[in-house]
Amino acid sequence: MALNHTGNGFAHIVARTIPAMRKTNNPFYGNVYKITDAQIQNGFKYINSVNNQLAREGKPLVKQQPRQWGKRIEGTGVVEHTKKGETEKTFYLEAKIERINFVGFYDIETGEEIERETLAPWLTKKGESSTQASLEKKIIYRDFALSSILWIRMDGIEIDNRVKQGHHQFALEKVTT
């Protein structure tokens, strides 16, 4: 579906990812997953979004910098990337976050929810892009591995991988579908 989508569009996704965490002395490292339910824009051009916001704020426009990793598949919102030392490609949906509906953290073994405050000392923040340094209102974008997307509705099509992947149902009942 993501490879067939051309141009700019909107989608609603639910993704299961491993949160970025510090490893040293962290009792939660490797034992937590994160569920994100978000409204996204896909197929957008990152630099256009940044420059449009800069123009709204009356600031000088910036030039596109090359991606730090991966290669966008022309005409799609999909990025392909081969991790160092591996031969198999991983595909990602490049997404501009329009709205976060829900974020929750869960124990991998039990599925029990873990409060963000409990994890806060070990969670790491994503670095800021230099092209957005002068923006007051930041453009939030993420690359979601296609394999991490549990549920998506895009272009009038809905795909639900939640049952197939055996994820804790009570965690997913909290998301908006």
Between CA 170 and CA 173 the distance in angstroms is 5
Residue 32 has pLDDT above 90, yes or no: yes
Considering only residues 66 and 70, tell me which one the structure prediction assigns the higher pLDDT. Answer: 70
Mode of pairing for the β-strands spanning 141-145 and 149-154 = unpaired
For residue 4, pLDDT beyond 70: no
At 105-130, the pLDDT tens digits run 999 999 899 999 999 999 998 777 77
Domain boundaries, the chain: 9-172
Mean pLDDT of the chain: 85
Q: Note the pLDDT of residue 174.
A: 47
- Read off the pLDDT band of 1 (50, 70, 90): very low
CA distances in angstroms from 64 to 51, 61, 74, 129, listed in the order given: 10, 10, 16, 11
pTM assigned to the model: 0.81
pLDDT at 161: 80
What is the Rg, in whole angstroms, of the alpha carbon atoms belonging to the chain?
17
Query: Does the structure show a pLDDT above 90 at 98?
Result: yes
